[in-house]
Amino acid sequence: MKLAGSFVALITPFDSKNEIDEAKLRELVSWQIESGTDGIVAVGTTGESATLSKTEHRQVLEIVIDETKKQVPIIAGTGSNATREAVALTEFAKEKGADFGLSISPYYNKPTQDGIIVHYSKIAEVELPTILYNVPSRTGRNVEPETTLALAGNPNLVGIKEASGDLEQIRKICEAKPKDFAVISGEDAQTLEIIKLGGSGAIGVVQNEIPKEIKTMIDFSLAGDFEKAREINEKFAKLMDLNFADNNPIDAKWVLAEMGKIEYAVRLPLTEPSEENKKRIRAELKKLGLA
C-alpha cells in the first residue's frame, strides 16, 4: 500500500460532557471519505491523544476503523515516550486492522539518537508498517536525518512525517532515502515545498476543514502542476496559519465548530482560542465562504 496523497490528522470530537462524541466522529470520517481523502490518521496529536485515556484511545481507533470499512487506509497514532507502551499500542492497532502506525519520537525524556533508533526498532518488531513522526517543537529532540536514514532500512518502518520545519534536513532525507520510504509533510504550510523535494503527500490539520480542496492541491503537486497547486495553497494559506494561532487543535476545532461540524470542546489544559483569534477565524471563514 503506497503512502502518497492527502491524509487527514483527524480531530477527536467531544460532547457537552467532554466525552467522545461517537456520532460526530463517525460523521467526520464519512465526510472525509466522501471528500476523497486518501487516508485517515486517528488518535494523533490533533486527535488529542495526550489527554485520552488508554481505553478512549482504543475506542476512537475502533470507531474510525469500523466507520471507514476499508474504504481508505487507516493510520493509527501509536506513539508514546515509553517504548513498551508504544509497542503495546502498535500491537493493538495491528490486531484491530489498522494499515499503518504513526509513532511520534519519544518526548520529554529526550533520548539520544541511539535511543531513538532502539525505540523504533522495538516498534518495528510488531510488523505493522509504521511511520516515524518527527516534531521537535513538541518532543524537545530532533530526529536527525542520519537517524531517519538508518531507520529507513528497516522494512517495517515505511516513512516519516516530517514536522521539523527544516527544509534542508528534509532535502537530505529525500535525496538519500530508499525508493520506497515515504517522506510526508507534517507542516501544512510546507507541503508544496516538501513535495518538490521528493515528498509524497501530507498528514495535515487543514484537511479537517477543506479535505476536497487539499486533496486537489496535493494531486496537482504530485502530478508536477505546481502552478495550479500554488493557487489553491495561496487561497487557504491564512486558514492554515490560523489553525495554529493559539495551538493545535484549539483553533482547528474552533473552525469546525464555526462550520457547524462539531460542538466546540477540548480537553484541559487546552482551552478556547483568544477573543482576537476567534474574530480572525470568523473573518477568514466568511471570506472563504466556509462559515
Place of cell 460532547: 15
What is the chain's length?
291
Which of 120, 133, 177, 215 is catalytic? The answer is 133
d(CA 237, CA 269): 28
CATH number for the domain whose boundaries are 5-223 = 3.20.20.70
**DSSP code at position 164:** S
Burial of residue 109 (number of CB atoms within 10 Å: 0-12, 13-18, 19+): exposed
d(CA 83, CA 237): 37
pLDDT single digits (tens) 82-96: 999 999 999 999 999
Q: Taking the CA atoms of the chain, what radius of gyration do you get in angstroms?
A: 18
- Give Cα 265 to chain centroid, integer Å: 19
Which sign, positive or negative, has the C-alpha torsion 173, 174, 175, 180?
positive
What is the structure's pLDDT at 30?
98
What is the structure's pLDDT at 2?
82
**DSSP code at position 93:** H
Which of 94, 161, 177, 253 is catalytic? The answer is 161
SS3 102: strand
What is the structure's pLDDT at 36?
98
Query: Residue 157: left (phi > 0), alpha (psi -120 to 50), or beta?
Result: beta
pLDDT single digits (tens) 184-233: 999 999 999 999 999 999 999 999 999 999 999 999 999 999 999 999 99
Average pLDDT of the residues of the chain: 97
* Known catalytic residue at 133: yes
Angle at 59 between CA 64 and CA 215, to 5 degrees: 25
* Known catalytic residue at 264: no
Low pLDDT (below 70) residues in the chain? 1
d(CA 4, CA 39): 9
